[in-house]
Amino acid sequence: MSVAARDIVPLAAVLLDLDGTLADTAADLAHALNRLRGEQDLPPLAVSQLRPYVSQGARGMLACALDVGPADADYGRLRDRFLTIYADSCAREATLFAGFADVLGELRASGLRIGIVTNKLERFAVPLLRALDVWPDADCLITPDLLRLPKPDPEGVLLACTRLGVAPAASVFVGDDPRDIAAGQAAGTRTVVAGYGYIAPGEDVAVWGADACIDSPAGLLALCRGWGA
Protein backbone atom coordinates (compact mmCIF):
# COMPACT_ATOMS: atom_id res chain seq x y z
CA MET A 1 0.00 0.00 0.00
CA SER A 2 1.34 3.43 -0.89
CA VAL A 3 2.05 6.15 1.65
CA ALA A 4 -0.64 8.31 0.03
CA ALA A 5 -3.21 5.54 0.40
CA ARG A 6 -2.32 5.04 4.07
CA ASP A 7 -2.46 8.75 4.78
CA ILE A 8 -6.20 8.92 4.17
CA VAL A 9 -6.82 6.41 6.99
CA PRO A 10 -7.17 8.14 10.38
CA LEU A 11 -4.58 6.97 12.87
CA ALA A 12 -5.87 4.63 15.60
CA ALA A 13 -2.74 3.15 17.21
CA VAL A 14 0.91 3.90 17.90
CA LEU A 15 3.26 0.91 18.09
CA LEU A 16 6.65 1.44 19.69
CA ASP A 17 9.92 -0.43 19.74
CA LEU A 18 11.33 -0.54 23.28
CA ASP A 19 15.15 -0.18 23.48
CA GLY A 20 16.30 2.99 21.77
CA THR A 21 12.78 4.20 20.98
CA LEU A 22 10.70 4.31 24.15
CA ALA A 23 13.41 3.69 26.73
CA ASP A 24 17.10 4.52 27.09
CA THR A 25 18.47 1.18 28.32
CA ALA A 26 22.06 1.45 27.09
CA ALA A 27 23.65 2.01 30.50
CA ASP A 28 22.17 -1.17 32.00
CA LEU A 29 23.10 -3.30 29.01
CA ALA A 30 26.61 -1.85 29.05
CA HIS A 31 26.85 -2.59 32.78
CA ALA A 32 25.97 -6.25 32.14
CA LEU A 33 28.42 -6.49 29.25
CA ASN A 34 31.22 -4.93 31.26
CA ARG A 35 30.63 -7.35 34.11
CA LEU A 36 30.93 -10.13 31.52
CA ARG A 37 34.11 -8.57 30.13
CA GLY A 38 35.49 -8.42 33.65
CA GLU A 39 34.89 -12.15 34.02
CA GLN A 40 37.00 -12.56 30.89
CA ASP A 41 39.77 -10.37 32.39
CA LEU A 42 38.99 -7.58 29.93
CA PRO A 43 38.72 -3.88 30.78
CA PRO A 44 35.34 -2.12 30.64
CA LEU A 45 34.12 -0.30 27.55
CA ALA A 46 32.46 3.11 27.55
CA VAL A 47 28.68 3.21 27.25
CA SER A 48 29.12 5.45 24.21
CA GLN A 49 31.06 2.67 22.46
CA LEU A 50 28.36 0.08 23.11
CA ARG A 51 25.33 2.33 22.64
CA PRO A 52 25.01 2.01 18.81
CA TYR A 53 24.75 -1.79 19.13
CA VAL A 54 21.93 -1.94 21.68
CA SER A 55 19.14 -2.24 19.11
CA GLN A 56 20.96 -5.21 17.55
CA GLY A 57 20.26 -7.23 20.69
CA ALA A 58 22.58 -9.67 22.45
CA ARG A 59 24.14 -10.74 19.16
CA GLY A 60 25.21 -7.24 18.19
CA MET A 61 26.38 -6.30 21.66
CA LEU A 62 28.44 -9.46 22.14
CA ALA A 63 30.01 -8.91 18.73
CA CYS A 64 31.06 -5.41 19.80
CA ALA A 65 32.15 -6.27 23.35
CA LEU A 66 33.74 -9.70 22.88
CA ASP A 67 34.08 -10.17 19.11
CA VAL A 68 32.00 -13.35 19.18
CA GLY A 69 29.07 -14.47 17.07
CA PRO A 70 26.70 -17.45 16.74
CA ALA A 71 29.32 -19.42 14.80
CA ASP A 72 31.75 -19.32 17.72
CA ALA A 73 31.83 -22.24 20.15
CA ASP A 74 31.59 -19.98 23.21
CA TYR A 75 28.75 -17.83 21.90
CA GLY A 76 25.88 -19.69 23.57
CA ARG A 77 27.58 -19.72 26.97
CA LEU A 78 28.54 -16.07 26.79
CA ARG A 79 25.09 -15.01 25.60
CA ASP A 80 23.39 -16.91 28.42
CA ARG A 81 25.76 -15.44 31.00
CA PHE A 82 25.19 -11.93 29.62
CA LEU A 83 21.42 -12.35 29.86
CA THR A 84 21.68 -13.75 33.39
CA ILE A 85 23.66 -10.72 34.51
CA TYR A 86 21.30 -8.35 32.71
CA ALA A 87 18.23 -9.92 34.34
CA ASP A 88 19.47 -8.65 37.71
CA SER A 89 20.05 -5.10 36.50
CA CYS A 90 17.66 -4.42 33.60
CA ALA A 91 16.05 -1.44 35.38
CA ARG A 92 19.12 -0.18 37.21
CA GLU A 93 19.53 3.08 35.30
CA ALA A 94 17.00 2.80 32.47
CA THR A 95 14.71 5.75 31.84
CA LEU A 96 12.10 6.78 29.32
CA PHE A 97 13.57 9.09 26.71
CA ALA A 98 13.02 12.70 27.78
CA GLY A 99 9.43 13.78 27.32
CA PHE A 100 8.01 10.37 26.48
CA ALA A 101 5.84 10.12 29.61
CA ASP A 102 4.02 13.28 28.52
CA VAL A 103 3.87 12.09 24.92
CA LEU A 104 2.21 8.83 25.97
CA GLY A 105 -0.34 10.79 27.99
CA GLU A 106 -1.11 13.06 25.04
CA LEU A 107 -1.47 10.13 22.66
CA ARG A 108 -3.86 8.39 25.03
CA ALA A 109 -5.84 11.59 25.57
CA SER A 110 -6.34 11.82 21.80
CA GLY A 111 -7.84 8.32 21.79
CA LEU A 112 -4.92 6.41 20.33
CA ARG A 113 -4.12 2.87 21.45
CA ILE A 114 -0.53 2.17 22.53
CA GLY A 115 1.36 -1.04 21.76
CA ILE A 116 4.95 -2.12 22.30
CA VAL A 117 6.61 -4.50 19.84
CA THR A 118 10.08 -5.51 20.93
CA ASN A 119 12.72 -8.15 20.30
CA LYS A 120 13.38 -8.06 24.06
CA LEU A 121 12.19 -11.23 25.82
CA GLU A 122 9.20 -10.91 28.15
CA ARG A 123 11.26 -11.75 31.23
CA PHE A 124 13.25 -8.56 30.65
CA ALA A 125 10.59 -6.36 29.07
CA VAL A 126 7.91 -6.64 31.77
CA PRO A 127 10.11 -5.77 34.78
CA LEU A 128 11.65 -2.91 32.81
CA LEU A 129 8.31 -1.45 31.76
CA ARG A 130 6.94 -1.79 35.29
CA ALA A 131 9.95 0.06 36.66
CA LEU A 132 9.33 2.79 34.08
CA ASP A 133 5.59 3.00 34.99
CA VAL A 134 4.60 2.06 31.45
CA TRP A 135 3.40 -1.49 32.00
CA PRO A 136 0.64 -2.61 32.44
CA ASP A 137 -0.67 0.74 31.16
CA ALA A 138 0.34 -0.07 27.58
CA ASP A 139 -2.55 -1.67 25.71
CA CYS A 140 -0.42 -4.57 24.47
CA LEU A 141 3.12 -5.90 24.68
CA ILE A 142 4.46 -8.18 21.96
CA THR A 143 7.72 -10.01 22.68
CA PRO A 144 9.54 -12.77 20.77
CA ASP A 145 8.12 -15.32 23.24
CA LEU A 146 4.78 -14.97 21.39
CA LEU A 147 6.16 -15.26 17.87
CA ARG A 148 7.68 -17.68 15.42
CA LEU A 149 10.01 -15.01 14.04
CA PRO A 150 11.23 -11.69 15.52
CA LYS A 151 11.53 -8.40 13.67
CA PRO A 152 12.14 -7.75 10.80
CA ASP A 153 9.39 -10.32 10.25
CA PRO A 154 6.03 -8.48 10.43
CA GLU A 155 4.36 -11.11 12.64
CA GLY A 156 4.77 -9.11 15.86
CA VAL A 157 3.44 -5.89 14.34
CA LEU A 158 0.45 -7.71 12.87
CA LEU A 159 -0.25 -9.44 16.19
CA ALA A 160 -0.19 -6.07 17.96
CA CYS A 161 -2.71 -4.68 15.49
CA THR A 162 -4.94 -7.71 16.01
CA ARG A 163 -4.81 -7.40 19.80
CA LEU A 164 -5.52 -3.69 19.63
CA GLY A 165 -8.36 -4.22 17.17
CA VAL A 166 -6.96 -1.81 14.60
CA ALA A 167 -5.99 -2.15 10.96
CA PRO A 168 -2.27 -1.91 10.11
CA ALA A 169 -3.07 1.01 7.79
CA ALA A 170 -4.47 2.87 10.81
CA SER A 171 -1.26 2.32 12.80
CA VAL A 172 2.25 3.70 12.93
CA PHE A 173 5.32 1.76 14.05
CA VAL A 174 8.20 3.75 15.54
CA GLY A 175 11.70 2.29 15.86
CA ASP A 176 15.40 3.05 15.75
CA ASP A 177 16.62 0.05 13.75
CA PRO A 178 16.19 -0.98 10.09
CA ARG A 179 14.45 -4.14 11.31
CA ASP A 180 11.72 -2.04 12.91
CA ILE A 181 11.06 -0.13 9.73
CA ALA A 182 11.13 -3.30 7.61
CA ALA A 183 8.66 -5.01 9.96
CA GLY A 184 6.26 -2.07 9.85
CA GLN A 185 6.49 -1.76 6.09
CA ALA A 186 5.85 -5.47 5.59
CA ALA A 187 2.85 -5.29 7.94
CA GLY A 188 1.40 -2.26 6.13
CA THR A 189 1.74 0.38 8.84
CA ARG A 190 3.16 3.86 8.61
CA THR A 191 6.77 3.85 9.83
CA VAL A 192 8.80 6.42 11.74
CA VAL A 193 12.50 6.40 12.60
CA ALA A 194 13.36 7.39 16.17
CA GLY A 195 16.35 9.46 15.10
CA TYR A 196 17.37 10.11 18.72
CA GLY A 197 17.82 6.37 19.35
CA TYR A 198 20.67 3.91 19.04
CA ILE A 199 21.72 4.74 15.51
CA ALA A 200 25.36 4.36 14.55
CA PRO A 201 27.24 7.56 13.64
CA GLY A 202 27.14 8.09 9.90
CA GLU A 203 24.14 5.80 9.38
CA ASP A 204 21.88 7.18 6.64
CA VAL A 205 18.38 6.46 7.94
CA ALA A 206 16.90 7.87 4.72
CA VAL A 207 17.76 4.60 2.97
CA TRP A 208 15.48 2.72 5.37
CA GLY A 209 12.51 4.16 3.49
CA ALA A 210 10.42 5.20 6.51
CA ASP A 211 7.57 7.69 6.17
CA ALA A 212 9.23 10.09 8.62
CA CYS A 213 12.11 10.58 11.05
CA ILE A 214 11.82 12.37 14.39
CA ASP A 215 14.61 13.82 16.51
CA SER A 216 12.73 13.68 19.82
CA PRO A 217 9.66 11.94 21.28
CA ALA A 218 7.76 15.24 21.03
CA GLY A 219 8.05 15.01 17.26
CA LEU A 220 5.79 11.98 17.34
CA LEU A 221 2.87 14.09 18.58
CA ALA A 222 3.03 16.44 15.61
CA LEU A 223 3.15 13.53 13.18
CA CYS A 224 0.19 11.79 14.78
CA ARG A 225 -1.88 14.97 14.73
CA GLY A 226 -1.04 15.40 11.07
CA TRP A 227 -2.25 11.85 10.45
CA GLY A 228 -5.66 12.54 11.93
CA ALA A 229 -5.17 11.55 15.56
**Displacement of CA 166 from its chain's centroid (Å):** 20
* pTM score over 0.85: yes
Active-site choice (17, 28, 180, 211): 17
Task: Note if 67 is an active site residue.
Answer: no
pLDDT reported for residue 227: 87
Task: Note if 19 is an active site residue.
Answer: yes
CA quadruple 174, 82, 63, 29: dihedral sign: positive
Of 24, 40, 122, 144, the closest CA to residue 82 belongs to 40
Q: Would you state the torsion angle of the CA atoms of residues 136, 88, 57, 158, taken in this order, to the nearest 10 degrees?
A: -20
pLDDT reported for residue 2: 43
Active-site choice (19, 24, 139, 177): 19
pLDDT reported for residue 228: 75
Euclidean distance between CA atoms 40 and 65, whole angstroms: 11
pLDDT reported for residue 78: 96
The residues of the chain scoring below 70 in pLDDT are 1-8, 229
Exposure b/e, 46-66, CB count within 10 A at least 16 = b: ebeebbbbbbbbbebbbbbbb
Alpha helices of the chain — where are they, by DSSP H?
A: 3-7, 26-39, 47-50, 57-66, 75-87, 100-109, 122-131, 155-164, 178-187, 218-226
Of 13, 22, 21, the closest CA to residue 228 belongs to 13
pLDDT reported for residue 1: 42
